[in-house]
Amino acid sequence: MQRWSKLFIPTLREAPADAEVASHKFLIRAGYVRQLAAGIYSYLFMAQRTILKITGIVREEMDTIGQELYLPALNPREVWEASGRWSVMGDNMFRLKDRKGADLCLGMTHEEIMTDIARKELRSYKQLPQIWYQIQTKFRDEPRPKSGLLRVRQFTMKDSYSFDLTREGLDKSFDLHDAAYRRIFKRCGLEFVAVEADSGSMGGSQSQEFMVYTDAGEDLVASCGKCGYAANLEKATSQLAVEADQPATASGAREKILTPGTKTIDDVAAFLKVPVNNNMKSLAYVMTDEVKGQPFYRPLLVLMRGNDQMNEAKLGGAIGGREFRPMQEEEIVKYFGSPAGYLGPVGLPQVTLAEEKGKAAYAGDDKAFVVLMDKALDGRKNLVGGANVAEHHFVGLNRGVDFDVTTVADLRNVVEGEGCPKCGAPLKLGKTVEIGHIFKLGTKYSESMGATVLDENGKERVIIMGSYGIGVERILTSCIEQNHDDNGFWLAPSIAPFTVVVVPTVMKDAAIVEAAEKIAAELEAAGYDVLLDDRDERPGVKFKDADLVGIPYRVNIGKLLAEGKVEVVERAGSKKTEVAMAGVLEHVRALYNPRA
């Protein structure tokens, strides 16, 4: 049992002005955390207690499928060079030098270190499969830390890695994680969805994210209430309504039209009286490419329907993970010979598509464009597009006649209400926070770093890996986002810093204090984490604090004691019940039994 009067729980009546989201405000107000710098927080007593409970649950579940390790956060450059990520990670990686001038970094994730152990130690297929996990601090120099503990530069991650000989083995390791993650999040009291996701810069094939719906989220998830389909916007697709094409021009060929002052798609559509989606908008980018090891910038043109939004993750995937950025004004003039607003694919020099080690390669000089077309434009006729001449657009554009494309790909963002790709029911879009991510890495790291074993035929085989993460603090923040009101928040008893707070309303009343002590001791003995609010404060202060700090159950001992009763309050829903002294334990146990 802990006594509030002895603890450091610095609650605040007001939240700092710069706190925006609920979890940030309440973590500060409830005395859980204090900020040290942008995206760097100190966890005080209450936060640390719940973090320990969360990691306790994570550890219990992970121990059923793997083994816990603990790896260095301070990493030498060499390990990250071995995988190629020393340069890929860019400014997101914290870097430093030791006294000898050698480069070090702070780990953002631990594929490299785990793979390094595997390549040095694993020799035989008989040692596989392995699942190794750790709970470690991760460091990421986020370009923009925000929303309290939601996007930070230092945080706790449970990360695990699986090592298998076969694809089937990887599938099994993946499924084990999927099941363990569901158990973990459920035990933490979270509502979550598992969604198809983009595997991003980590590389890999199948990828699944665990998301929590909250307005504080940064990711959009498209989901179908009918069949259960759910996917990150970076991956989501939909069934689109068929749209009517424009009739061909009178001549049957494309025609160049003067369209003065029409710099946006909407302007053009209105001017020509053509539906926006019969317009083809041209987005200009430059991408990094290389020929024979020589890197250079290559122009990239993306063709989309007028109303559609391009998704950068999808674009990145469509160009094989090459880096890209929007073209700047001077570059537009240089590559297109036209000012922005009138760009189109007609007459541009274009690359040819080659195949290199199973990866798409582009052949052509540095003036040659890669032209990508969104799938929604596939088969469309007589489109409107820029003429690469100021104040002019073409009508009657047709692929194969007026222009060619390098690749057709799904590049657009799904819009709410479009048909589910599986069952056709309308899709919903919701903001979410990512709390976990599991994916099949394949051989990306084991191959580049040389992690191999001998199989039963004595043949060298590259280990097949998976990588799996959980953001520990995000479990806490998500719980608060999902369970709060104006007065504070409540956590699931499994992760709350205390399960019950016992509140004697008047400390000068010996009978009340005695009864409170008795009840607190009784609950403690029954396995509850009990906080006794023995502060000499007015009842109102104690009640306000109790509501604020996330404890799911409260027992008030006060004026009802004259009748031999106390009051049990369930924080979620604020349900109050009068209970006889002797029945308190039984009543609370019916709400939650820590030993069940």
Partner RNA sequence: CGGGGCGUAGCGCAGCCUGGUAGCGCACCUGCCUUGGGCGCAGGGGGUCGCAGGUUCGAAUCCUGUCGCCCCGACCA
Chain contacts with RNA (rule: CB under 7 A): 11-18, 20, 29, 35, 37-39, 143-147, 263-265, 281-285, 307-312, 325-329, 332, 340-343, 386, 413, 487, 505-506, 508, 538-541, 543-548, 556-561, 566-567, 569, 576
Given 3-state DSSP classes, what are the helix, strand and coil percentages for the chain, each rounded to the nearest 5?
30, 35, 40
Give the single-character DSSP code of 144.
S
Residue 273 CB, shortest distance to RNA, in Å, is 18
Please enumerate in sequence order all residues whose Cβ is within 8 A of that of 186, keeping only pairs 6 or more positions apart, or say none.
none
Residue nearer to RNA on the CB measure, 115 or 259: 259
| Amino acid sitting at position 205 | S
Residues ≥6 apart with Cβ < 8 Å to 239? 418, 419, 420, 421, 424
Q: Which is nearer to RNA, 60 or 563 (CB)?
A: 563
User: Which residues, 6 or more positions from 85, have their beta carbon under 8 angstroms from its beta carbon?
Assistant: 111, 112
Residue 486 C-beta: closest distance to RNA, Å: 10
Taking each continuous run of H as one helix and of E as one strand, the counts in the chain are 14, 35
Report in angstroms how near the CB of residue 250 gets to RNA at its nearest.
Answer: 26
Q: For residues 131 and 233, which CB has a smaller minimum distance to RNA in the complex?
A: 233
Phi, psi of 537 (to 5 degrees): -120, 165
Residue closer to RNA (CB basis): 165 or 265: 265
**Between residues 123 and 325, which has the closer beta carbon with respect to RNA?**
325
Shortest separation between residue 570's beta carbon and RNA, angstroms: 11
Select 225 or 337, whichever has its Cβ closest to RNA: 337
Is residue 401 within 8 A of residue 347, CB to CB? The reply is no
- C-alpha span between 533 and 541 (Å, rounded): 11
How many other C-beta atoms can be found within 10 angstroms of the C-beta atom of residue 78? 13
Q: How far is the CB of 451 from RNA (least distance, A)?
A: 35
Residue number, 129 or 558, with CB nearest to RNA: 558
Q: Residue 451: which of 112, 96, 26, 53 has the closest Cα?
A: 112
- φ, ψ of residue 375 to 5 degrees: the values are -55, -30
CB of 507 to RNA, least distance (A): 7
Q: Taking the complex as a whole, how short is the minimal distance between the CB of residue 88 and RNA, in angstroms?
A: 18
Q: Which residues pair with 230 in a beta bridge?
A: 223
Tell me the closest approach of the beta carbon of residue 403 to RNA, in angstroms: 16
What pairing do the DSSP bridges indicate for beta strands 103-106 and 95-97? Answer: antiparallel
CB 416 to RNA: min, Å: 13
Based on CB atoms, which residue is closest to RNA, 355 or 536?
A: 536
- Using N-to-C axis directions, what is the helix angle for 510-525 and 584-591, rounded to 10°? 50
Q: How far apart are CA 548 and CA 551, in angstroms?
A: 8
d(CA 348, CA 369): 7
Compare residues 291 and 340 and give the one whose CB is closer to RNA.
340
By beta-carbon proximity to RNA, the closer residue of 16 and 527 is 16
Provide long-range contacts, Cβ within 8 A and 24+ apart, for 4-13.
4/501, 4/531, 4/532, 4/533, 4/534, 4/535, 5/534, 5/535, 5/536, 7/45, 7/531, 8/44, 8/45, 9/44, 9/45, 9/46, 9/545, 9/549, 10/44, 11/545, 11/548, 11/549
Rounded least distance, CB 518 to RNA, Å: 15
